[in-house]
Each structure stands twice: as C-alpha cells, then as structure tokens.
Amino acid sequence: MAGARQFSEFLEQWPAHQGGLKRAYVQLMAWAEVLPGAQVSFLARPGVSHSLRFDLAPRPSGRQRPVFFLVDVVDDGGERFLSVCFYEDEITDPRDLGNAIPQGLFQETGYCFDLEDDDPGFLAYLRQRLGEAHAAARGV
C-alpha cells in the first residue's frame, strides 16, 4: 500500500473512545482490498482528512477516473466520522441513505455516506455499494 507507514501511525493514534469507528474503517478497507485488481493508497491531509483511495490495477482501457471507492476520515471538532464515497453513476442507493456531492469526487459528482460508528447493518449496505462500484469500474 502506498502510504503504509503513515496509515499504521494514523491507526495507532486513533481515539480510544471511537474504537467502533476504527473497526468499521479497517473492515471497509479489508473488503475493498481483496476485490480483483483493487489497489489501495493512503493519503494524509492533516486538518482536512485522511483518505483510503481504491483504484484498479491495471486500470481498464478507457477508464480515466482515479478511484472507484474512497473513505475519508474527517475530524469534526475532536470527533471523527467516515465519509464513504463513490461516483454517483456507479452505485445505487435504494434506501436513500447517502448524498450526492456535485463536483465532490475529483470534479465529478460523488455519492457519499457518513458513518459515525460500527453499525453492522449500515456496513453491510456499504459493502453492497462497494460491490456495485467495483463492478462498474471494471466494466462488468
């Protein structure tokens, strides 16, 4: 993983009272990194966010988008939450739990879900969206 050392240091400094959110973050990463062709990188932007970014390697012919899935850890006044984002046109949201973010994902419309704790039902829902995004990115 690009940024592996920074990622490890970031996890070590995670607030103890938000251990459930840390588990959710690691679980999302674990699900994504075993998908065929998935390649992960970690980008620390202190004071803004810390991002896990997932692309495909090799990227399918004609695909210009730099990611198919992104998880930002946002520090909101000492409390963290996850912003789990996809491209709006690569997923569905049948339960209407997310929000479209115009030009919010590399100048395209992103679709993000905010996660504040380790919610198994919500995580399962996000895992389904992850599968959709991965299939769309691969052109399947």
What pLDDT score does 7 carry?
94
Instruction: Please give the distance of CA 76 from its chain centroid, rounded to a whole number.
Output: 17
What tens digit of pLDDT does each residue of 7-45 get?
999 999 999 999 999 999 999 999 999 999 999 999 998
Tracing tokens 């929000």 back to the chain, one arrives at 99
DSSP the chain: -BTHHHHHHHHHTS-GGGHHHHHHHHHHHHHHHTSTTEEEEEEEETTTEEEEEEEESSPPTT---S-SEEEEEEEETTEEEEEEEEEGGG---TT--SEEEEEEETTEEEEEEEE-S--HHHHHHHHHHHHHHHHHHHT-
pLDDT, greater one: 88 or 4: 88
* Predicted local distance difference test score (pLDDT) of residue 25: 97
Average pLDDT of the segment spanning 97-123: 96
User: What's the pLDDT score for residue 61?
Assistant: 93
User: What integer best gives the mean pLDDT of the chain?
Assistant: 95
Answer yes or no: pTM beyond 0.75.
Answer: yes
Cα–Cα distance measured from residue 118 to residue 28, given in angstroms and rounded to the nearest whole number: 11
pLDDT on residue 45 = 87
- Which of 56-60, 75-79, 103-107 has the lowest average pLDDT? 75-79
Q: Does position 140 have pLDDT exceeding 80, yes or no?
A: no
